[in-house]
């Protein structure tokens, strides 16, 4: 089910296609009323809602042309926003706009309105109909709905190109992923550990399963793997974490078993695609925020305040993510490990978050101070083991910074931040 939902979420065509099909069905119903069942429903339709065939033809023709034009304008606007996202923010953030239900819903409304208008116009013939019709009235109502959605779409576009709103959206996206991961760990059968759990030596045979194609791991169905392991008395180890790039030579699963033969269709449980996905990949959601910060401090844009905003918001998902802890996530059945998954530990997540920012912002004191503020916040709201890793990464960041350009006042502020971090 998760695999299907992921495919639907990443499909740009799904919502517009659904609206087009619904509009086609609406057109069929209205055409049947106008041509076949008019006598039966006439008494229920107020006379002011019906028009002559000539007026209906004129109205529907005008609406179909207008809605096709609006569809083109909407598509052009979407392309402009995508260009802005790609050039100003990050190419990885494009899907945050294209797969947004509001964006696709507006495009679908216009496409559906055009489908209804042109299909109704096709059957609006005097030789078929010798009475008044309701097709034009339904078309006008559809046009008003499209107009309302277009106004909302303009508001959506104006909000989307504001970088602060995008950063907030990415933060919420990362938080949702972390909370879903934490919810899975609330089950008593699932545990996080620093070391790989041990299991019975009776599982002497091991079958290594490799990927069937190359790409990024987008989705891992741990529930499905757990069911497979329980039903066949396996212990399954997932060798690669979510978001890893794999090839047909990459080992993804190690299946420990007692039988002579193991047959597993890995594509049922692990989805590999061309791009990383934000469904389970916490690191990818954070990476998109990091890329916006990197683009902001690049010489071509030189907008350190946007980068500082990204760094400030990073503290929110990071604090939540560090509460997961551990290198291994194990799914148990009757206190026996059945599925062992891997994930990034605190050190790896801290490093992957800050190593690029600390390099490209090594000459900007405002970036350094913002990083220290975020690290201080993380330390204040984390356990002791996380605090130790935060102090390590702070020394790493400080060593990479170009301290030759620091003024006395700059050094005073930096030393104050470092002292506060070490005192936590």
Same domain, 196 and 245: yes
**Predicted local confidence at residue 144, as pLDDT:** 93
**Predicted local confidence at residue 372, as pLDDT:** 94
- Residue range 78-90: mean pLDDT, rounded: 85
Domains of the chain: total: 3
Beta strand 215-220 with 328-333 is unpaired
Structure-token pair, residue 196: 């790989």
Burial class of residue 120, CB neighbours in 10 A (0-12, 13-18, 19+):
buried
Neighbours of 410 (CB within 10 A): 15
The owner of tokens 């790039």 is 245
pLDDT digit string, tens, across residues 43-70: 888 888 888 888 989 999 999 999 888 8
**Predicted local confidence at residue 29, as pLDDT:** 92
Q: How confident is the model at residue 23 (pLDDT cuts 50, 70, 90)?
A: very high
Please give the Cα distance from 79 to 169 (Å, whole number): 20
Q: How confident is the model at residue 199 (pLDDT cuts 50, 70, 90)?
A: confident
Yes or no: say if 278 and 284 are a contact pair by the CB < 8 Å rule: yes
Please give the Cα distance from 274 to 277 (Å, whole number): 10
Q: How confident is the model at residue 41 (pLDDT cuts 50, 70, 90)?
A: confident
- Residue range 259-268: mean pLDDT, rounded: 80
* Start-end of H helices in 161-257: 163-185, 222-232
Please give the Cα distance from 388 to 107 (Å, whole number): 50
Task: Name the pTM for this structure.
Answer: 0.82
The CATH number covering residue 221 comes to 3.90.1170.30
Q: How confident is the model at residue 310 (pLDDT cuts 50, 70, 90)?
A: very high
Nearest Cα to 23, choosing from 63, 78, 82, 74? 63
Neighbours of 212 (CB within 10 A): 13
Structure-token pair, residue 334: 């009757």
Yes or no: say if 120 and 31 are a contact pair by the CB < 8 Å rule: yes
Same domain, 175 and 198: no
Same domain, 77 and 157: yes
Same domain, 175 and 320: yes
**Predicted local confidence at residue 1, as pLDDT:** 60
> End of a domain among 243, 273, 303?
273
What percent of the chain clears pLDDT 70, i.e. is strictly above it?
A: 97
Same domain, 244 and 303: no
Same domain, 42 and 109: yes
**Predicted local confidence at residue 104, as pLDDT:** 85
Same domain, 266 and 303: no
Q: How confident is the model at residue 141 (pLDDT cuts 50, 70, 90)?
A: very high
Within the chain, what is the greatest distance between any pair of CA atoms?
91
Q: How confident is the model at residue 378 (pLDDT cuts 50, 70, 90)?
A: very high
> End of a domain among 242, 273, 304?
273
| Secondary structure of residue 191 in the 3-state scheme | strand
Yes or no: say if 15 and 111 are a contact pair by the CB < 8 Å rule: no
Same domain, 174 and 318: yes
Same domain, 268 and 335: no
Same domain, 173 and 113: no
Same domain, 313 and 330: yes
Yes or no: say if 367 and 297 are a contact pair by the CB < 8 Å rule: yes
The yes-or-no verdict on residue 367 having pLDDT over 70 is yes
Distance, CA of 184 to chain centre: 19
pLDDT digit string, tens, across residues 317-338: 999 888 877 777 887 887 888 8
> End of a domain among 273, 305, 338?
273
Give me the chain's average pLDDT, please.
Answer: 86
Neighbours of 237 (CB within 10 A): 23
What domain range is 402 assigned to? 169-184+278-423
Same domain, 266 and 352: no
What percent of the chain clears pLDDT 90, i.e. is strictly above it?
A: 28
- Residue range 215-233: mean pLDDT, rounded: 88
The owner of tokens 């299946």 is 255
**Predicted local confidence at residue 6, as pLDDT:** 60
């Amino acid at each position: 089910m998760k695999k299907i939902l992921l495919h639907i979420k990443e499909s740009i065509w799904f919502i517009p296609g659904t609206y087009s099909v619904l509009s086609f069905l609406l057109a069929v119903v209205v055409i049947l009323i106008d041509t076949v069942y008019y006598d039966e429903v006439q008494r229920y339709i107020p006379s002011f809602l019906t028009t002559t065939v000539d007026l209906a033809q004129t109205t529907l023709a005008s609406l179909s042309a207008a809605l096709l034009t609006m569809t083109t304008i909407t598509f052009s606007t979407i392309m402009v926003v995508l260009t802005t996202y790609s050039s100003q923010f990050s190419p990885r953030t494009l899907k945050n706009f294209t797969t947004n239900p509001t964006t696709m819903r507006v495009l679908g409304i216009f496409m559906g309105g055009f489908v209804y208008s042109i299909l109704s116009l096709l059957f609006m013939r005097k030789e078929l109909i010798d009475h008044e019709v309701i097709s034009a009235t339904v078309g006008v109502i559809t046009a008003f709905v499209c107009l309302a959605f277009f106004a909302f779409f303009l508001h959506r576009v104006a909000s989307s190109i504001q970088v602060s709103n995008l950063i907030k959206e990415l933060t919420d996206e990362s938080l949702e992923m972390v909370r879903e991961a934490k919810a899975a760990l609330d089950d008593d059968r699932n545990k996080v550990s620093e070391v790989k759990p041990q299991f019975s030596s009776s599982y002497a045979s091991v079958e290594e399963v490799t990927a069937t194609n190359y790409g990024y791991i987008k989705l891992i169905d741990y529930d499905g793997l757990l069911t497979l392991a329980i039903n066949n008395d396996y212990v399954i180890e997932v060798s690669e974490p979510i978001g890893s790039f794999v090839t047909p030579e990459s080992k993804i699963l190690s299946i420990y078993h007692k039988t002579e033969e193991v047959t597993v269709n890995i594509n049922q449980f692990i989805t590999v695609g061309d791009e990383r996905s934000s469904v389970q990949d916490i690191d990818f959601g954070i990476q998109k925020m990091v890329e916006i910060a990197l683009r902001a401090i690049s010489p071509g844009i030189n907008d350190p305040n946007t980068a500082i905003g990204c760094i400030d918001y990073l503290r929110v998902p990071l604090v939540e993510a560090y509460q997961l802890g551990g290198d291994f996530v194990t799914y148990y059945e009757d206190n026996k490990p059945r599925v062992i998954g891997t994930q990034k530990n605190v050190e790896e997540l801290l490093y992957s978050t800050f190593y690029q920012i600390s390099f490209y912002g090594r000459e900007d004191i405002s970036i350094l101070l913002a990083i220290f503020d975020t690290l201080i916040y993380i330390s204040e709201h984390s356990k002791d083991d996380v605090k130790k890793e935060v102090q390590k990464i702070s020394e790493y960041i400080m060593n990479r910074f170009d301290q030759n350009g620091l003024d006395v006042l700059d050094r005073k502020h930096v030393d104050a931040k470092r002292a506060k971090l070490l005192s936590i």
